[in-house]
Chain A
Amino acid sequence: KNQVEQSPQSLIILEGKNCTLQCNYTVSPFSNLRWYKQDTGRGPVSLTIMTFSENTKSNGRYTATLDADTKQSSLHITASQLSDSASYICVVSNRADSWGKLQFGAGTQVVVTP
């Protein structure tokens, strides 16, 4: 069973609207959680990274939250743009794997329509 579950699997939103993506994880112990944006056929690009002590992190119109107690994270996209159409992947690092073996979610495919 995947230790990182994302929802919804896909999402269609109108340009200018907001949306929120969810990530639940069971990875333990926990080191950090990242959200990546991946355009089709391209490598993932980091949006945010949060450690155990951080519960919110913003990067422009992207705001990530983390509740380490409930092991949940969300990524909120504000005033969506057509360029936000991509897959958004939640990635969790296990402190026991100290050298970069990450647990990936399957991603949420976001489509922004005019």
Chain B
Amino acid sequence: DAGVTQSPTHLIKTRGQQVTLRCSPKSGHDTVSWYQQALGQGPQFIFQYYEEEERQRGNFPDRFSGHQFPNYSSELNVNALLLGDSALYLCASIAYVRDRGETQYFGPGTRLLVL
């Protein structure tokens, strides 16, 4: 976990609802990535935020949106929830180290269940 916090830890929603997940990065890290991990699968990249802007995006529909605040914390919003959105949502805090590339630390995740 290494200092990355996520909230809430668990969440139950119904189809069509909207959800907001939150992430606070490790101190000194200014870049945050969000991942979706279905049961038994590896994490899938959703998007990344740097300097309050979306820098990169994976293959996720526009129902998935995000935000980064001046203190580098971030939110993931999912609209019009589908059953298939049930997953563990991971936030990764990132710092770039010269000659070694990025260093990523994952939060504990938010388990979302859509009924």
Q: Which B residues are CB-close (under 8 A) to A104?
A: 35, 42-45
Name the one of B41, B100, B106 contacting A44, with C-beta atoms under 8 angstroms: B106
Q: Which A residues are CB-close (under 8 A) to B105?
A: 46
Which candidate, A13-21, A58-66, A74-82, A91-99, is the interface stretch facing chain B?
Answer: A91-99
A43 at the interface (CB under 8 A from B): yes
Name the one of A4, A31, A46, A106 contacting B101, with C-beta atoms under 8 angstroms: A31
Name the one of B1, B40, B101 contacting A93, with C-beta atoms under 8 angstroms: B101
- 27 CB-based A-B contacts, threshold 8 Å: A4-B42, A31-B101, A32-B101, A41-B88, A42-B108, A42-B109, A43-B90, A43-B108, A43-B109, A44-B106, A45-B1, A46-B104, A46-B105, A89-B42, A89-B43, A95-B101, A97-B56, A98-B101, A99-B31, A100-B31, A101-B33, A101-B48, A101-B56, A102-B45, A104-B42, A106-B42, A109-B40
Closest 5 CB pairs of A and B: A43-B106, A104-B42, A100-B102, A100-B94, A106-B42
B interface residues with partner A (beta carbon < 8 Å): 1-2, 4, 6, 31, 33, 35, 40-45, 48, 50, 55-56, 58, 88, 90, 92, 94, 96, 100-109, 111
- Given A4-B42, A41-B88, A102-B45, 8 new contacts (CB under 8 A): A42-B108, A43-B107, A93-B101, A100-B102, A101-B58, A104-B35, A105-B42, A106-B41
A interface residues with partner B (beta carbon < 8 Å): 4, 31-32, 36, 41-46, 49, 51, 89, 93, 95, 97-102, 104-107, 109
